[in-house]
């Protein structure tokens, strides 16, 4: 059998704003968010034309206890779902070099799933149409459709995250991540919001100009989860305040939590003179990573 391989960087994401809207009768909450890819990403290699199915994970961001059962891994589930929908491949081997902090609201598992879907579709003798690929992505999680599409590094998303409006990417911008030594369960975060809902919000109308510059995007910065997550994790609140209070002095323009946590991010001012690495007083129990916003989705590289 012919063996082929695809490699791709599964880019992390941040939420430039995130609103949690109505809860459906199914129990799912609708969201409204502005996604942005980062240059930071897991390195994925997918091989087909192999006997059996396998998933191997390693790398500096691997948790001490591992990633849990293989059949629950989003990359594995993406490959199995693709094979079921396409009737191909009969076998695959996935290798993941984890570089995105796990359980931090940076979309690491979703990025892996989206990258695997893109890799398999690039390798397939008869690729699935985009609509079919996004249908699969939508069954895997709210972040997966955005991290599957390759049209843009930014997108406005709503409903369950499966309705997307790709937007032109903005200029590269240094991004500092602060990740604590604990994660926040997305299920728990939604439960906390249900226990302590926000007052009803009025309708929001967006226009194209709001997404045309970093200045206007910064003005929309918001995350509905911060209130309930910070209440239950005082160390995260303290780090957020410290990060925010000293932000201007170290060249940071905007500080937010990504997704349902637990990572905080700071976006640098966009002045050209800004250094690529930003000095930061890292709180105890936190790790800092300096990366940048991405200008485009990472390409899939094929090899024989």
Give the residue numbers marked as catalytic: 13, 143
The single-letter DSSP state of residue 180 is: E
Q: Tokens in use for 229? A: 């997550």
Nearest to 73 by CA among 42, 32, 51: 42
Question: Burial level of 240, CB count in 10 A (0-12/13-18/19+)?
Answer: buried
| Token pair in block for residue 280 | 């930061």
Name the nearest CA neighbour of 15 among 293, 297, 295. 293
Q: 56 by DSSP, 3-state: which? A: strand
Q: Look up residue 210 and give its DSSP letter.
A: G
| Residues 160, 213: Cα–Cα separation, whole Å | 26
Residue pair 162/186 in contact (Cβ under 8 Å)? The answer is no
Residue 207 exposure: Cα atoms within 13 Å on the Cβ side = 1
> Nearest CA to 96 among 40, 39, 44?
44
What torsion, rounded to 10 degrees, do the Cα atoms 142, 144, 148, 150 define? 50
Q: Give the relative orientation of helices 74-86 and 130-138 as an angle to the nearest 10 degrees.
A: 140
Q: Which helix (H) or strand (E) holds 45?
A: strand 29-48
């Amino acid at each position: 059998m012919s063996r082929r391989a695809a490699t791709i960087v599964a880019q992390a994401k941040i939420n430039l704003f995130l609103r949690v809207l109505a809860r459906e009768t199914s129990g799912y909450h609708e969201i409204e968010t502005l996604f942005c890819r980062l240059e930071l990403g897991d390195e994925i290699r997918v091989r087909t034309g192999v006997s059996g199915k396998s998933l191997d994970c390693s790398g500096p961001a691997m948790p001490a206890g591992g990633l849990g059962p293989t059949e629950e891994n989003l990359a594995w589930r993406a490959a199995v779902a693709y094979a079921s929908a396409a009737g191909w491949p009969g076998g695959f081997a996935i290798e993941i070099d984890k570089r995105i902090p796990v359980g931090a609201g940076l979309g690491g598992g979703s990025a892996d799933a989206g990258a695997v879907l893109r890799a398999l579709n690039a390798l397939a003798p008869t690729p699935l149409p985009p609509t079919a690929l996004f249908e699969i992505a939508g069954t895997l999680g709210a972040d997966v459709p955005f991290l599957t599409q390759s049209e843009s590094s930014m997108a406005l998303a709503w409903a369950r995250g499966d309705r997307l409006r790709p937007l032109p990417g903005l200029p590269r911008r240094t991004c500092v991540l602060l990740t604590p030594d604990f994660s926040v369960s997305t299920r728990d975060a939604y439960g906390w919001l249900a226990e302590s809902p926000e007052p009803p919000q009025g309708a929001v109308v967006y226009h194209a100009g709001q997404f045309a510059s970093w200045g206007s995007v910064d003005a929309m910065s918001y995350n509905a989860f911060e209130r309930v997550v910070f209440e239950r994790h005082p160390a995260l609140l303290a780090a957020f305040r410290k990060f925010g209070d000293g932000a201007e002095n170290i060249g940071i323009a905007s500080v937010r939590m990504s997704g349902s946590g637990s990572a905080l991010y700071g976006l640098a001012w966009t002045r050209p003179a800004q250094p690529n690495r930003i000095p930061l007083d890292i709180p105890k129990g936190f790790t800092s990573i300096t990366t940048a916003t991405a200008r485009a989705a990472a390409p899939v590289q094929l090899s024989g």
